[in-house]
Amino acid sequence: MKSILSRGAFLAVAILCLVLTADSFPATGAAGRVEEASGSVWVERGGGRRAIGRSAAIHYGDTLITGKDGRIRFTLTDAGSFTLESDTSVSIDELFEEAEDEPMVLRMAAGYLWARVSRLSSSPRRLEIHTPTVIAGVRGTEFELAAAADGSAAMAVDEGSVEMAVDGETLLVDKGSMAEVDADTGKGSLAPAPERRRRDWMAWRAERAVRLPDRLPMVIERAAAKVSRMERELSVLGGSVFGKADDLAGALEDTRAALGKKGSKAALRQARLAAGKAGLALRREVRAYRRALNRLRVDVNFARTLEHSLETAGDRVPPETAALLRGRLAETLQTGDRLILEARQLRERVIGLFRSLYRTTGGQATDKRPAGKKAGAAPR
């Protein structure tokens, strides 16, 4: 039987590697594959973009992008089947292999997604989809989700139910219902869903895109304010991760000291128990950090779509106003990029700490993974 030290230390390090890993720690296995692709479809991976087609592997950290004529259908092993229509960008966050109760996360700043998520007894993992205004938590359901250029979102559920977290509240969207979230108010409303053949998501998105140029100052300011809030939240959560990492470092140091004292089995048992508890505490902090980091990333991606909207608005935005908005977006994106860099620096510091602690255990936890478990690259 593995010791508490081995299990606790491995769990903590695996969680940190999976949450905070960037491009220097690429995925070792596929998250799914492309079933069909037509028109302009790309994948962003490792800082580059290339076309992607049928049967191609999809990895944790990939961003799938469709152009104006693009469409892609793909499967994710632990989630289900998905379809993206034109002008959509979806990022696949890293997966917590060692924690089945940790959700798989997709991020969609704008676009359309259809999903059929199966609930299998052997795979209880939940799926979360983050848009600029909602977090949809799903398991065992079929639904359509659209995110407009102004940040508004709408969902229609055809099987099962979906929990939508909206501005601190939760909407339960059951089969046959539709929820719409207004970007201006941040509030959601429920109504009976139209028959699927009568839903026109392209028209719904186009209507909001047409109105966006006149509303860009308000929408851009709102996006900037969200990134500022996430900056404060991530500062607090990052400090908590460091604090719990230090706690685990101390607990493992105590365990190493106990290992050097022959015959002190009670002290060793207590030290291992403390290390296991410290690992679980760190895992909880990393979970909170991961969720906040996903929210930041979708907000940053949304700000980039607003950059494009501003550049294509033409004379509907006065030149002086456009210049001010460009500056505001540049400042916002600079903040977002800095926070993402800080997350990578946090990863490097913590992983370095745990690698050092691995060496103190004589390699018991080093380079060991459960069969079939794979680390994931961080999303872009």
The answer to whether the Cα torsion of 194, 195, 198, 200 is positive or negative is positive
The single-letter DSSP state of residue 86 is: S
What are the angstrom distances between the C-alpha of 197 and each of 141, 179, 193, 194, 331?
Answer: 19, 17, 11, 8, 43
Domain count, the chain: 2
Residue 299 lies in a domain: yes
Give the per-residue pLDDT at 354.
58
Instruction: Give this prediction's pTM.
Output: 0.82
Amino acid (1-letter code) at residue 262: K
Q: Could you tell me the CATH number of the domain that includes residue 312? A: 1.20.58
Give the per-residue pLDDT at 353.
62
Tokens representing 319 are 């030149």
Give the per-residue pLDDT at 89.
96
Give the per-residue pLDDT at 254.
87
Give the per-residue pLDDT at 380.
39
Tens digits of residue pLDDT in 114-145? 999 876 545 556 889 999 999 999 878 999 99
Residues 190, 155 contacting (CB under 8 angstroms): no
Name the pLDDT band for 238 (thresholds 50, 70, 90): very high
Tens digits of residue pLDDT in 308-337? 999 999 889 999 999 999 999 999 999 999
Residue 174 lies in a domain: yes
Helices (H), 44-150: none
Residue 155 lies in a domain: yes
Measured CA to CA, the distance from residue 201 to residue 208 in angstroms comes to 11
User: 169 and 247 in one domain?
Assistant: no
Tens digits of residue pLDDT in 77-100? 878 899 999 999 999 986 544 456
For residue 9, pLDDT over 60 is answered with no
Domain termination residue (choose one: 160, 192, 211): 211
Q: What is the mean pLDDT of residues 154-168?
A: 92
For residue 257, pLDDT over 60 is answered with yes
Residue 279 lies in a domain: yes
User: 297 and 196 in one domain?
Assistant: no
Tokens representing 339 are 């926070």
Measured CA to CA, the distance from residue 78 to residue 114 in angstroms comes to 16
Tens digits of residue pLDDT in 263-279? 677 888 888 788 778 87
Residue 317 lies in a domain: yes
Give the per-residue pLDDT at 17.
47
Measured CA to CA, the distance from residue 284 to residue 147 in angstroms comes to 30
Most confident of 14-18, 30-34, 201-205, 244-248: 201-205
User: 196 and 232 in one domain?
Assistant: no
Name the pLDDT band for 22 (thresholds 50, 70, 90): very low
Give the per-residue pLDDT at 114.
97
User: 137 and 204 in one domain?
Assistant: yes
Measured CA to CA, the distance from residue 251 to residue 273 in angstroms comes to 9
Name the pLDDT band for 45 (thresholds 50, 70, 90): very high
Which of 87-101, 112-126, 172-186, 348-362 is predicted least confidently? Answer: 348-362
Q: For 73-92, give one letter per residue: b (16+ CB within 10 A) or e.
A: ebebebbbbbbbbbbbbbbb
Measured CA to CA, the distance from residue 285 to residue 308 in angstroms comes to 35
User: 236 and 175 in one domain?
Assistant: no
User: 191 and 264 in one domain?
Assistant: no
User: 149 and 268 in one domain?
Assistant: no
Measured CA to CA, the distance from residue 180 to residue 188 in angstroms comes to 5
Measured CA to CA, the distance from residue 88 to residue 71 in angstroms comes to 9
Q: Of 324, 337, 334, 265, which is closest to residue 297 (Cα–Cα)?
A: 337
User: 280 and 166 in one domain?
Assistant: no
Q: Could you tell me the CATH number of the domain that includes residue 59? A: 2.60.120.1440
Name the pLDDT band for 367 (thresholds 50, 70, 90): very low
Tens digits of residue pLDDT in 204-235? 999 999 999 999 999 999 999 999 999 999 99
Give the per-residue pLDDT at 287.
86
Give the per-residue pLDDT at 31.
86
Tokens representing 265 are 């089995």
User: 203 and 243 in one domain?
Assistant: no
Strands (E), the chain: 32-38, 41-45, 48-51, 57-58, 63-66, 71-76, 80-84, 88-92, 104-117, 127-130, 135-138, 141-147, 153-159, 161-166, 169-174, 177-181, 188-192
User: 332 and 226 in one domain?
Assistant: yes
Range of the domain at 81: 27-211
Average pLDDT, the chain: 83
